[in-house]
Amino acid sequence: MNITERSQLHRLPRRGSHEVEAINAILDAGFLAHVGFQASGQPFVIPTLFGRESEKLYLHGSAASRMLNELDTGMAACVTVTVVDGLVLARSAFHHSMNYRSVVAFGTARKIQDTSRKEHALRIISEHVIAGRWNDVRQPTEKELKATAVLEFAIDEASAKVRTGPPLDDEEDYSLPIWAGVLPLSLNADVPVADPRLVAGAEVPQYVRTRVGSKFRK
């Protein structure tokens, strides 16, 4: 993967990495991306779900989506993914922080026109968000596929950055009688809420039960 000035880590580079394995691990841990691009001189940052395959990201949305249509022109874009692991509470206001894993990826995107490749990309996105779902649901119709745009975002270069551990206070502040430490945060699935129009006898699938874990009660 390329490294140029735009992906070079300047601020706290010891927390960063350009290793493909480190970057992919963070992309696989998240499922919400923010896509940055510029259209008619106006910058935009749009949140969207994504899926990863090798060094490509798949993005999808309405065929009328401004973001997808602008990106299809081949303009340079930036995709970021962040997983927040905790709030870092220091003894001083200045040293408060957070523990996180993040990726900043640069590249260009193009729409996938081939129907079979489009369906493949949609499956990748679906399985990235919740593995096992794609095989359970009705597959897209030809009309639905035409109404959906899918982009393949080729990652030209990227960087990962990670913060872990306790707060880093000034040495003279460690003796202050102020509680300091990390408040861990995580994204947890809660008990599923059934659609009120659910067909009688339709059971919660195992892959959903697994996501909920010990919280699930039938």
Span 111-150, pLDDT tens digits: 999 999 999 999 999 999 999 999 999 999 999 999 999 9
Q: Do 56 and 120 contact (CB within 8 A), yes or no?
A: no
pTM of the predicted model, to two decimals? 0.90
How many helices, marked H, and strands, marked E, lie in the chain? 5, 8
Of 13-27, 57-71, 117-131, 133-147, the range with the lowest mean pLDDT is 13-27
Share of the chain above pLDDT 90, in %: 85
Q: Do 36 and 80 contact (CB within 8 A), yes or no?
A: yes
Q: Is a pLDDT exceeding 90 seen at residue 24? A: yes
Which pLDDT value is given to residue 10? Answer: 58
Q: Is a pLDDT exceeding 70 seen at residue 195? A: yes
Domain ranges within the chain, ordered by starting residue? 13-167+180-187, 188-218
From the number of C-beta atoms within 10 Å of its C-beta (0-12, 13-18, 19+), residue 104 rates as buried
CA distance 129 to 21: 20
**pLDDT category, 11, cuts 50, 70, 90?**
low
CATH 2.30.110.10 matches 13-167+180-187: yes
Q: Is a pLDDT exceeding 80 seen at residue 74? A: yes
Which pLDDT value is given to residue 96? Answer: 98
**pLDDT category, 17, cuts 50, 70, 90?**
confident
Residue bearing tokens 């779902």: 133
pLDDT (tens digit, 9 = 90+) per residue, 79-94? 999 999 999 999 999 9
Which pLDDT value is given to residue 211? Answer: 87
Rounded to 5°, the CA angle 62-76-15 comes to: 105
Number of alpha carbons in the 13 Å side-chain half-sphere of residue 66 = 10
28: left (phi over 0), alpha (psi -120 to 50) or beta: alpha
Q: Do 37 and 75 contact (CB within 8 A), yes or no?
A: yes
Mean pLDDT of 168-197: 96
Share of the chain above pLDDT 70, in %: 90
Which pLDDT value is given to residue 117? Answer: 97
CA distance 168 to 183: 15
Neighbours of 124 (CB within 10 A): 20
Mean pLDDT of 27-32: 96
